[in-house]
Chain A
Amino acid sequence: MSDTNQAPKSADTTREEVALLPPVDVLEDAGGITLYADLPGVPKDRLSLHVEADVLTIDGEVVLDAPAGMELTHTEVGLPRYRRQFTLSKELDAGKVQARFEHGVLTLRIPKAEHAQPRRIEVQVV
């Protein structure tokens, strides 16, 4: 993240690169991984999720209905974009990711591939 923070904010081309890091919860159970990400202010059509070479990228643009001529006097969310990347491990099935986006919270369910599911091996007594 430190690299993106050092990017200059003046030029419009580099502004694309600067983004807030959304807080996440990541939980893993036997069936896969559940990821929750807080992306307040992002409408559904401005959220982009993609997986490329095992890297999952969450990218969202903040859209607020600000009245014309509004001047911000206090800012805690200072950038209109969130971005975060995660490297998926081999046993996760990136093709079967389920996503839900409600009230600014993204819920991703990334199942484990069939062959990676834990299996109980019956011990036979002979």
Chain B
Amino acid sequence: MYYRSMFPRDLFAELERLQREVPQTVEPGPSIRGQKRGYPALNVGGTPNAVEIYAFAPGLDPATLDVQLEKGILTIAGERKAPAVSEQATAHIGERFAGRFRRVVSLPDDIDPNSIVAKYRDGVLHVSVQRREETQPRRISIQ
């Protein structure tokens, strides 16, 4: 939200505001990264046994990726280099992210910090964190 008119009857200001806000809410944003979101884009999901985090981070050397878990906070950090551009080249479109990045996810309380697996495949970092066994749903047998 950039601007709200102080005067509700200022019709033109209201229209202007609508014009800005409607596309933001109606369009899901065709860009993978969008303007409001960071790099890498994150999808987070869960099963009764584990929490799955997918970071869409293409074009990285997996060795330079820094994945840390501290006090239930998962941090994914790294750097993506811009493609080398020779001096004679002209850049027509430059939409891809370049530079240092850092994204932080707060994980639920029931995770087991000792059973965490991170894989990098096809430009997606998949972090899988198991939930603690004693918190997993179980069936209680009736005697």
Q: Which residues of A are in contact with B by a Cβ distance under 8 Å?
A: 1, 4-5, 20-30, 34, 36, 38-43, 63-78, 82, 102-105
Is A40 within 8 A of B44, CB to CB?
A: no
- Some 13 contacts from A to B, beta carbons below 8 A apart, are A28-B90, A34-B83, A36-B83, A41-B56, A67-B49, A73-B46, A74-B44, A76-B42, A76-B56, A77-B56, A78-B28, A103-B60, A104-B59
Is B89 within 8 A of A70, CB to CB?
A: no
Residues in A neighbouring B97, C-beta threshold 8 A: 23, 38
Known: A20-B30, A76-B37, A105-B58. A41 touches B44 (CB 8 A): no
The 8 Å CB contact of B52, one of A28, A42, A66, A78, is A66
The 8 Å CB contact of A82, one of B32, B48, B60, B93, is B32
The residue among B42, B57, B58, B94 with the most chain A CB atoms within 10 A of its own CB is B58
Residue on A nearest B57 in the bound complex, by CB: A40
The CA-CA distance from A36 to B84 in the complex, in Å, is: 11
Is B45 within 8 A of A43, CB to CB?
A: no
Is B126 within 8 A of A105, CB to CB?
A: no
Given pairs A5-B30, A68-B47, 8 additional interface contacts (CB within 8 A): A27-B90, A29-B86, A30-B88, A38-B123, A40-B122, A40-B124, A67-B50, A103-B120
Residues in B neighbouring A25, C-beta threshold 8 A: 83, 91, 93-96
- Give the Cβ gap from A111 to chain B, nearest Cβ, in Å: 14
Residues in A neighbouring B28, C-beta threshold 8 A: 5, 78
- Give the Cβ gap from A79 to chain B, nearest Cβ, in Å: 8
B109 at the interface (CB under 8 A from A): no
Is B122 within 8 A of A104, CB to CB?
A: yes
The CA-CA distance from A27 to B90 in the complex, in Å, is: 6
1/0 per residue B78-92: CB within 8 Å of A?
000001011011111
The CA-CA distance from A43 to B58 in the complex, in Å, is: 12
The CA-CA distance from A64 to B43 in the complex, in Å, is: 11
Is B37 within 8 A of A23, CB to CB?
A: no
Residues in A neighbouring B47, C-beta threshold 8 A: 67-71
